[in-house]
Structure formats: structure tokens, C-alpha cells
Structure 1
């Protein structure tokens, strides 16, 4: 059996195991170990152990538990509620104001937690009941919460960009800075869509009624503004030492986690329950990611050993005779299609190692390509039938949010994400300007 056939067999077996409901790390790791043993005998099984040691030596991974812990402390200590109340009071009088406030809340949550799941949890428990109570349209509610929470994987400190940096061997700091401007552009486009949609149909998002506005004094608004600035303090305390070169990436993540604990303690909300939930949740997510990354490294080693990556490169560039931009567009289109059936982790494991090598061979900037990849992962979070956020929304929302409602609600926001992807492809400086300005890249 030739190596190309073995590579196809590995790929199809892994997909079959995932479709039948096997754990992602179990499917990937099983195929990797069995293939290594089949190809190279007992010595091939050492690839798994080598991957573990490689992972343990990669110090940027230490940031993962710190950022996850920081996000859970913010959520469980209800500091996010202060933020939402602030946005509610300041933007509530506008048509769609509370939806705009929800997007801004998600941006703030994203700069304190690199995962989409934290934004989904906060949106479903804090924003959703308030939006329902104010008679917002269910499609608007579902779309805003799902799209807003997905910003967490693009705006720094993005965990997905941390994982991409491992695959592509690129500096995490540059990837984070590269994701910041496209993330803010996407959030701005979300807000623009909400404003335009609510102008055309005000019944979708009624503004705060006049009676409620009358009882909110300017003093109350300023008090809420001060309360909402506490999360900003956490972000500044974390990022300034890092950007100034006073602290490494890992040290900055520790500062961020300690700042979140300090902020919760100042508010007298850092209870034993908050500590317990945050610690347990951080442990679960960190272990899950480490298992997946270990399995991914093992699979990638076998796949590279077969020469499958080079075969795919030759197919695109020599057999089809395509130019670099044609290949890039095909890569992104294939990512969008795969996103309908796979989550971002599976895409990272299965395709990213090959496509990263292909993008590097074609001469594309790897920091820029990392942003393109991450935006495509965002789309994967929202595209039916297997978008990750779709199922989270179904699990967290009331029964009236049926799957058809949840599926329909994301369509315009997916369009905005694709528009952002096209803008970054056409104007690479959207991603590359900030790394150059801050780090002199």
C-alpha cells in the first residue's frame, strides 16, 4: 500500500470515528498510534511520548490555564454583570441598544478570556433573560449572543491563536496583536448591522422605555461607568507590562489572573464557591486542550512522515497549476465547508498543519495567515449543522429557542464574518499594522 493511500485511510478513519461520537483526542490519538505502529513497528509508538515532551517544553502553553481561570473568576464573581448593567444604562435608550451593549460586553469578555465558551455562558445567563424581558426578537437575541461570543477566539488573548502558534511556530505576541484590529473591525460591523436592521424594523429591538430612563440619573450612570472600568483595569494591568517588555507572555497571564482575583476580592465577591468553580473548570478545559494538542502532534508527525503534506502541495501547485492566490482562496473555501461539520480544534488538528506548510511554501505571511485561519474558525463555530456555538446556545437557552430559530439567527452574522475575512485578505495591513507598530515587525 502506497503512502498516499495510507494517508487517505488515516484521514477517513479519524473522520469516521468523530462522526460516530468518539472524543476528538481519542480519535486523533488512536489513529496516530495505530498508524505509527503499522508503519514503523514498536518504535513508532514513541511518537506519542515525544509529543508529550514537546508539549511540556512549550512555555506559552502555560498561559492557557491563566487566561481560562481569569475568565471564570470574572464570570462567577459577577463582575461581568456590572459591565452589562453599564452598557444597558448607556446604550439602552437606542433602538437595538441592548443588543449593541451585548456585543460590547462580549468584546470586553474577549479581552479577558480567550475562549468562546465563556462569552456564551455569560451571554446566556446575563444578557439573554434581559433581552427577552424587553421583548427583543428571538432571532436577534440568538444571533447577537452567538456571534458576539465567537469574538473570544480572535481578540487577544485568544487561545486558538496560541494553539495556531504551536502548529505554525510563530510568536504568540505577534499573532495576538494581529488579531486585535480585525476583531474590533468585526465587532464594529456587528454593531453596524444591528443599528441598520433596527432602524429598518424597530420592533426587533425596542429601546428602553421613557419611564425607566427618567429614574436613571447621571450620578447612577457615572457610578456604573466606574464599576464597568474594573475589567478594563484587569486588561491594562495584564497587557501594559507585556507590551512594554517588563514581563514575558507567561508572566503577563499570571498578572491577569491575579488582577481578576484582586478585582473580585475588592468587590467582596471572591468566595469559596467562586474559587472552587473557577479552579475546577480551568482544570477541565486545560486537560482537554492538552490531550487534544498531544494527539494532534502525534498525528501530524505520522502524516508528515508519510510525505502527505508535500503531496498536497504538489497537487495544488503542480498538478492543478494554480497560482498562490487561487490556492489560498481554495484553502479558505475548504475551511468554510469543513466548518459546517468540524469544530475549530478538529480543523486545527486535521488541516492546519498541511495548510500552514502550503501557505509558507507559497510565500504568504504566516502571521496574516493565522488571522485568516482564526476568522474561518469563528465561522465554523456558527455554521450549521454542527457549529459549536449552535449547540451551546440550544443547551443554555429556554425551550422556545428551537434549533431552526438558532440556525436562522446566525445567517446575517456569518455574512459579516465572511465580509471581515475578505477585507483582511484584500487589505493585509488590517492584521499586520499593529504588530509592526508595537513590536517593529
Structure 2
């Protein structure tokens, strides 16, 4: 077998490089990860490793919280396809239009609402790019600022619960998803608040960036304003029903996701938008995204098992502490920098699969809280895939944005928001209680 001739450290490094090379050639994430894991296992342990994929598969199918994944994804797509998200933006359009930069602030509030009902950044970006961007451009908002607003706001989808990325982290790091979701809530709201403060201050200093809406657009009958308020009530009821039942101990995490999916469906029926086309589109998108994440988790379990068997985590610990003589905080900062670098080339799930099996055991051995670290990882991912020149979200935004917004505009738009996100990351690192307070209090 190969292990007789090569060191385990060399094999682990070879796996890592091979996987990156396959991803850069355009291979699907789960295909690259799973292929490298299975082939490496066979080369190292021979026929004895043939059970590894089957073990990983049954482990995945028996993991009860995995049921939350398709239910939350369904909920998000149902809200989007039935036009409830569009109604939410109309409400913010009227109620915030009298403030300088009000539509941008309203867009950020909408992004928070979408994040609390979806768990994916892509959905928030699609809604923002198709609904909010054209409306703000039509009203002479600065295209660079509003492009940054949509990108930054959509990134909240992987931090504010129900975060699908946190489900993946919980699976790979073997941490309770319920604690991770609660840990992400306050940091997510903190980041959204910092975004809103930045928008408000910037537009006060430079009013031309976010002009006030005309009197004609803002002065609508009181009856219509009250009717618009129902657009905000529906998402609020859905979110509070899920989290309230969970925090009061009435329903489990999986049951809460089922409640969210049911309420989203009932909301679309109430709005008389529950058509066969909406249901068909929602189910197709839910199936596609859910299967993609299931394959990624399955491949990650195989990859992580091989890495554990090779002792790669111990090799990383030796490199950071014994050879480089880094302090625990130095190790933590080095990890965050590696995420930012990889985020220029890979998406969040690929980064998680690559480094979580290495970093999480090291974090625990250094005495850090793995729940807190999960929040740091997620915030760093947000920063990473919006960092030029190759940030994942930058090109996604270019594909969705109106034609008048160029790639150069997108690059220039994101810099101030990246600085705000970096500030939020530092605050959570210096004050871990921001992330740990809710899970410690309620779980």
C-alpha cells in the first residue's frame, strides 16, 4: 500500500493540493472532494477502506437534524416565488423613502428578513438584484453604493438563522446546530445594524448618494399604508413562530423547520399566489439545492474520515505551535487569514470541507469554544467571498445585476462594507459573549 512508502503528512498535503487543482478545473465541489477522499483511502488502506463511503452515507441518513435542510430551503423559495419578498420591499419603500438613503436602509431590513426565512446568501442576492437594485437605480441612487448594499445584505443569509452553512459546520465539526443558530443571531443583527449606521451616515454626508423619495411617492392614503404593513407582519410571524416554539421548548429544531415551511405555504395561499407554477418552481429549486448540499456533506464526511486517519490535524497543530511557536490567538488569526485567502477562489462550503476537519480539533485543543469559532468562521466566509479580485459573490452579483452596473462598479462598491464586516469580526473575537450569550442562556 502507498502508506508503506510515503509519510502520512505527505499524503495529506497531496490530497489537499489534488482537491484544489480539481476545483480550479471546474469540477463540482462534491465530486472533487469525494473522489480524492475515496481514492486516497483505497491507496492508503487498501480494500479495508471500501466501507468508508457506505459508513458516511448511513451516518448522513441517520442524522436527524438533516431534515431541517430541505424544509428551510423550501420555506425560503416559497416566500421568494410567491412574491412575499416583493411585498416586503414595497413596505420599506414607502416607510423609509423620506430618509436620506432610506431605500438602501429598507433594502438592508429586507435582507435581514429574507435571511431569517431562507438560510442562503444566493436567495437574498437574487431578490435584491431583481427587486431592489432596479428600483433604486430608477430613483437616482448611487449604483456603487446600492450594489454594495445588496451584496453585504445578502451575506447575512449564512449567519442569521436558519443558516444552511451552520448546518454543514455542525455536521462536520460535530456541534449542535441549535447552538450554532442561536450563536449566529446576535452577531448577524450586530452586523446588519453596523451596515445601516454606515448607510445612514454616508448618505447624510453625501445626500446625492441616496436622495429622498418625492412627496408624490410617499404620500399615499393611510388605508394603503396600513395594508402595506401586513407585508412585514407575515415574515415576522413566520420567524417568531419558529424561534418562539424552539426557545420555549415546545418544538424541536426539525419540528420548527416544518412549522416554517407550513406557514410559508399558508402565507402564499392567503395572498392567493399559491399556483401550480409557484409550487413546481419551489419544489424543483428545493430539490436541486438540497441534493447539492447532501452530496457535499457526504463527500466531506469521507474526506474528514481520511484526514482524521492520517493524523493531519495533529500535523497542523505541530506546524503552528511547535515549529512556528504561535500563541493560541496567533493560531486563530492565522486560520482566519487562510479562510480569506481561500475565499478568493472557493465558495463557503468548499472551504469548510477542506479545513474544518483540520481546524476544529485544533481549536478545541487550544481551549476555544467550537460554537464561537463557528460564528467566526461564518463571518470570515462572508468577508472572504466578497474580497476582490476573485470573490465568489462578486461574479454572482455581476451575473444578476442590471447591465449598467459593471464589474468595476461591483469591486469598488464592496470595500466600505468589507471594512464594516471586519469590524464586526473583531468585535465578536474580542467579546465572545456576543455569540455565546444566547446558546448559554437557552440551551
Give the alignment's TM-score, normalised by structure 2: 0.97
Instruction: Note if 1:283 corresponds to 2:270.
Output: no
Q: Retained in 1: the 8 A contact 2:343–2:392?
A: no
Instruction: Note if 1:170 corresponds to 2:175.
Output: yes
Q: 1:158 aligns with which of 136, 155, 163?
A: 163
Q: How does 1:178-193 map to 2 (within 5 A)?
A: 178-193=183-198
Q: Retained in 2: the 8 A contact 1:151–1:183?
A: yes
Instruction: Note if 1:80 corresponds to 2:102.
Output: no
* Shift, 1:61, TM fit: 1.0
Q: How does 1:266-415 map to 2 (within 5 A)?
A: 266-415=270-419
Q: Retained in 2: the 8 A contact 1:303–1:309?
A: yes
- Matches of 1:281 and 1:373 in 2, distance apart? 27
* Shift, 1:6, TM fit: 1.0
The 10-residue stretch of structure 1 (134-143 or 149-158) with the greater mean CA deviation from structure 2: 134-143
- The runs of at least 4 aligned residues of structure 1 exceeding 4 Å deviation read none
Q: Retained in 1: the 8 A contact 2:307–2:357?
A: no
Q: Which residue of 2 aligns with 1:438?
A: 442
SS in structure 2 opposite 1:155? coil
SS in structure 1 opposite 2:385? helix
Instruction: Note if 1:53 corresponds to 2:82.
Output: no
Q: How does 1:88-103 map to 2 (within 5 A)?
A: 88-103=93-108
Instruction: Note if 1:36 corresponds to 2:36.
Output: no
Instruction: Note if 1:17 corresponds to 2:22.
Output: yes
SS in structure 2 opposite 1:351? helix
SS in structure 1 opposite 2:274? coil
- Matches of 1:211 and 1:157 in 2, distance apart? 38
- Matches of 1:177 and 1:252 in 2, distance apart? 14
- Matches of 1:381 and 1:276 in 2, distance apart? 31
Residues 252-286 of structure 1 deviation map (CA, whole Å, 9 limit, x = unaligned): 10010000000110111111011000000000001
- Matches of 1:108 and 1:25 in 2, distance apart? 30
Q: Retained in 2: the 8 A contact 1:150–1:381?
A: no
* Shift, 1:384, TM fit: 2.2
Q: Which residue of 1 aligns with 2:259?
A: 255
Q: Retained in 2: the 8 A contact 1:108–1:231?
A: yes
SS in structure 2 opposite 1:28? helix
Instruction: Note if 1:111 corresponds to 2:116.
Output: yes
* Shift, 1:247, TM fit: 1.1
Residues 127-181 of structure 1 deviation map (CA, whole Å, 9 limit, x = unaligned): 1111111111111121011110110100011111111111221111111111000
The 10-residue stretch of structure 1 (383-392 or 106-115) with the greater mean CA deviation from structure 2: 383-392
Residues 208-263 of structure 1 deviation map (CA, whole Å, 9 limit, x = unaligned): 0123223x233322221123211111112222211111111111100100000001
Q: Retained in 1: the 8 A contact 2:388–2:411?
A: yes
Q: Retained in 2: the 8 A contact 1:71–1:109?
A: yes
- Matches of 1:238 and 1:275 in 2, distance apart? 22
Q: Retained in 2: the 8 A contact 1:341–1:385?
A: no
Instruction: Note if 1:426 corresponds to 2:433.
Output: no
The 10-residue stretch of structure 1 (311-320 or 62-71) with the greater mean CA deviation from structure 2: 311-320
How large is the Cα RMSD of the aligned pairs?
1.1
Q: Which residue of 2 aligns with 1:245?
A: 249
Residues 390-415 of structure 1 deviation map (CA, whole Å, 9 limit, x = unaligned): 12211111222221111111111111
Q: Retained in 2: the 8 A contact 1:65–1:286?
A: yes
Q: 2:232 aligns with which of 223, 228, 233?
A: 228
- Matches of 1:255 and 1:290 in 2, distance apart? 22
Q: Which runs of 5+ in 1 are unaligned?
A: none
- Matches of 2:411 and 2:301 in 1, distance apart? 33
Q: Retained in 1: the 8 A contact 2:151–2:414?
A: yes
